[in-house]
Amino acid sequence: MTLFWVAALALSILLYVLLDGFDLGVGMLFGLTRDEALRSRMLASISPVWDGNQTWLVVAGTVLFGAFPSVYALLLSAFYLPVMAMLAVLIFRGVAFEFRHKAGRSRPLWEIGFAAGSLVAAFIQGTMVGALAHGLPMQNGAYSGGPFGWCSGFALLCGAGLCVGYTLLGAGWLVVKAEGEVKRRAERLVPWLACGVLIFLALAFGQALAEDLKIMRRWLERPYLFAFPAVGLAAALRLFGARRRHDATPLFMTAVIFAAAFATLALSFWPYMVPFDVTIEQAAAPRESLSFMFWGAGLFVLPLVLIYNLIAYRVFGGKLSNDIHYH
């Protein structure tokens, strides 16, 4: 049961990062675009799926709360301010997405809100991941760092890096979905954004070595971990290819980069839920609770959410016509 819920949590987080990552990336690219027609097409590309993408954030939070309640409490104690800020900007971003269509003179406000909400949400998510990799201040199994104990230079660097990564995902999505000028602009951005991702990874690796972070010691203990960054590097280099035969190549290769980075972090943390203080076994709820959740959420809720997403992407698949707008 414990391993099942670890796998469910990992799958939920990875799907959230990949799916909501590209629509947050489109939101950041939206903020860099001034042409009204191009902006409308960018929003139309994510309109049918963006709210469903965020379902995986709810699923991940629910699994963490039910299956690993002590870690849920610990992480909320550490990340209370960034989590509340992230939820606030995600809500405002959703409101801005809808209000922009009907707004008149206030339209610039909602457009700024949509783009800024995408940027801030991505930055906060990256900062929290960076804080976990850096290590949270802990004492006797409890968080002891105060409201800003999670904040460090390494965490902020990871926040900026995830913004670049999500923007690359967004550009890949627009190459898949859009036609005309939107697609051409996204294609031109892909190599530059891939270069930005590689620069961030090099800087993060160098800073981790300079600070002698515990996570780097795991690489020496587990040399096989180097295989995952190698896969990610190969995928990143593929993005620099001259002429791509398939529009799906940028999005697929970027997804491979994220999956490789996720696997690297997960295996570096293993068997800890909060590195390097709380193990999975220590964090797991009683077996009876895990079994009770399995017969409800495990057998029905998780498969239903996954099926819903698959159907949505199937129904709204294919290229977006230039005369279709998001309302």
What is the tens place of the pLDDT at every residue in 203-241?
998 888 888 888 888 877 888 888 888 998 899 888 886
Residue 211 carries which DSSP code?
Answer: T
- The two tokens of residue 197 are 């991702």
For the chain, the structural domain boundaries read: 2-209+270-315
Residue with tokens 């707004």: 103
CB environment 213-224: b (16+ within 10 A), e (fewer): bebeebbeeeee
The string of pLDDT tens digits covering residues 155-196 is 999 999 999 999 999 999 999 998 888 899 999 999 999 999
The string of pLDDT tens digits covering residues 29-44 is 998 988 888 888 899 8
d(CA 305, CA 316): 17
What pLDDT does residue 243 have? 52
Q: Which long-range contacts (CB under 8 A, 24 or more apart) does 2-6 make?
A: 2/67, 2/280, 2/281, 2/284, 2/287, 2/290, 4/290, 4/294, 4/298, 5/63, 5/67, 5/68, 5/284, 5/290, 5/293, 5/294, 5/298, 6/280
pLDDT tier, 242 (very low <50, low <70, confident <90, very high otherwise): very low
Contact 55, 304 (CB under 8 A): no
Q: DSSP 3-state assignment of 151?
A: coil
Full-model pTM: 0.93
What pLDDT does residue 161 have? 94
Average pLDDT over the chain reads: 88
Task: Quote the crossing angle between the two packed helices 227-238 and 249-269, to the nearest 10°.
Answer: 160
d(CA 291, CA 312): 30
Residue with tokens 């294919």: 318
Residue 50 confidence (pLDDT) above 90: no
Contact 195, 257 (CB under 8 A): no
Residue 322 confidence (pLDDT) above 70: no
pLDDT tier, 83 (very low <50, low <70, confident <90, very high otherwise): very high
What pLDDT does residue 327 have? 55
